[in-house]
Amino acid sequence: MRTLILALAATLALAVVSVFVGVSDVSIPSLLAGGIDSRAMEVLLISRVPRTLALVLAGASMAIAGLVMQMVVRNRFVEPSTTGTTESAALGFLVVTLLAPGWPLMAKMGVSALFALGGTALFLRVLRAVPLRDVLLVPLVGIMLGGIIGALTAFIAYRANLMASMLAWNMGDFSGVLRGRYELLWIGLVCCVAAYIAADRFTVAGMGKDFTTNLGLNYQRVMMLGLVIVSLVSAVVLVSVGSIPFLGLIVPNLVSLMIGDNMRRTVPWVAVGGAGMVLACDIAGRLIRFPYEIPIAVVMGVVGSAMFLYLLLRTPRGAS
């Protein structure tokens, strides 16, 4: 509990730093000097605070989505981007953008979430047909499935002259976040709360179908709840800021190494860790080439793949 509070404090500190990093001068003196109508205050309220909130919400909810996915699929190496979920969400968003461009963003996000759900269900279906359920085969199957769905999306986008938008969805970036353009991410917070409320059910599901049935829970229903949470988060993050790779993989795995898999205990850690990691990567991306920005997907990709390799190499003990 003590260490969790420390982690929370560190994440809050990162959030404060995140608010004050940027090209235009926003600092405590400039805010105090300018008063309520100043340019600094305007930048703070319209750009900086929304961006920091978006980072926290997206980071926490993507990490939770990875955690839930790992529990219900019972594999350490799955998360929305290794199961075809993110790619399906992108396909859904593209389809609805083409067919119903006038719909509000909320409705488009809904369609995207439905596609994500369908894609994840397809992934689970394919898994059942694969005879050998090796620990590493599962994410490989997901990555291949995601590749196929991604290719289909690219084909449609190419034909419709939407390659630029598609690229933006696939490359998570918080530089475009402004007030009024990130609020969907609050749905991610709702999903995190739902995951916490259902934490025991997910832990039981993580013990396997037989254990779940023995304890009187409906395995299919728990699975479905988990997949709905994962799909919603994936779609919300994708349409708001674009996909963030590896996050849902690394944070839950590190937390699992530290304190195990009882979700009642891990959910707060994973949420705080996810937010902290995204904040740190975003700050790094903003400072490395200051005043230019490196998209978070790039920073996360570099940091994430190194950590992923570390996790893979230590697999023989305990992961299977």
Partner 1 sequence: MIVTSNVTKNYGASCVVDGVSLKLPQGGITSIIGPNGAGKSTLLSMVSRLMAMDKGTVTVGGLDVTTAPSDELARRMSILRQDNHMTARLTVRDLVSFGRYPYSKGRLTVADKAHIDRAIDYLDLGDLSGRFLDELSGGQRQRAFVAMVLAQDTDYVLLDEPLNNLDMRHAMGMMKLMRQAANELGKTIVLVLHDINFASWYSDHIVAMKHGKVAAQGSASEMIRPDVLSGIYEMDIKVHEIGGQLISVYYG
Stretch that binds partner 1, among 32-40, 142-150, 258-266, 280-288 (CB under 8 A): 258-266
Distance of CA 16 to the CA centre of its chain: 21
Distance CA 278, CA 200 (A): 27
Contact with partner 1 (CB under 8 A) among 261, 298, 303, 311: 261
Helices 263-288, 247-259: axis angle to 10 degrees equals: 130
Of 110-149, binders to partner 1 (CB under 8 A) are none
Return the residue matching tokens 């994708």: 238
Q: How many residues does the chain have?
A: 320
Sign of the dihedral defined by the CA atoms of residues 33, 11, 294, 63, in that order: negative
Distance in Å, CB of 264 to partner 1, minimum:
7
Contact with partner 1 (CB under 8 A) among 262, 290, 305, 309: 262
Q: Residue 288: what residue type?
A: I
Of 180-199, binders to partner 1 (CB under 8 A) are 199
Of 63-92, binders to partner 1 (CB under 8 A) are 71, 74-76
Distance between terminal CA atoms of the chain?
29
Distance CA 165, CA 158 (A): 11
Cβ closest to partner 1, residue 213 vs residue 305: 213
Distance in Å, CB of 216 to partner 1, minimum:
3
Distance in Å, CB of 73 to partner 1, minimum:
9
Cβ closest to partner 1, residue 48 vs residue 76: 76
Q: Which of 124, 95, 111, 96 is nearest to 226 (CA)?
A: 124
Distance in Å, CB of 307 to partner 1, minimum:
18
Q: Which of 7, 109, 110, 18 is nearest to 55 (CA)?
A: 18
Cβ closest to partner 1, residue 86 vs residue 256: 256
Distance in Å, CB of 222 to partner 1, minimum:
12
Distance in Å, CB of 215 to partner 1, minimum:
5
Cβ closest to partner 1, residue 1 vs residue 164: 1
Sign of the dihedral defined by the CA atoms of residues 127, 141, 205, 223, in that order: negative
Distance in Å, CB of 55 to partner 1, minimum:
29
Cβ closest to partner 1, residue 199 vs residue 235: 199
Residues near 319 by Cβ (< 8 Å), separated by ≥ 6?
76, 135
| 3 counts as binding partner 1 under rule CB under 8 A | no
Cβ closest to partner 1, residue 138 vs residue 227: 138
Distance in Å, CB of 173 to partner 1, minimum:
34
Return the residue matching tokens 């690219």: 154
Distance in Å, CB of 136 to partner 1, minimum:
13
Binders of partner 1: how many residues, by CB under 8 A?
30
Binding mask 199-238 for partner 1 (x = CB under 8 A): xxx-xx-xxxxxx-xxxxxx--------------------
Rounded-to-5 percentages of helix, strand, coil across the chain: 75, 0, 25
Q: Which residues of 110-124 are buried (b: 16+ CB within 10 A; e: fewer)?
A: bbbbbbbbbbbbebe
Distance CA 4, CA 211 (A): 30
Of 15-74, binders to partner 1 (CB under 8 A) are 71, 74
Q: How does DSSP classify residue 4?
A: H
What is the contact surface with partner 1 in residues (CB under 8 A)?
71, 74-76, 199-201, 203-204, 206-211, 213-218, 256, 260-262, 264, 317-320
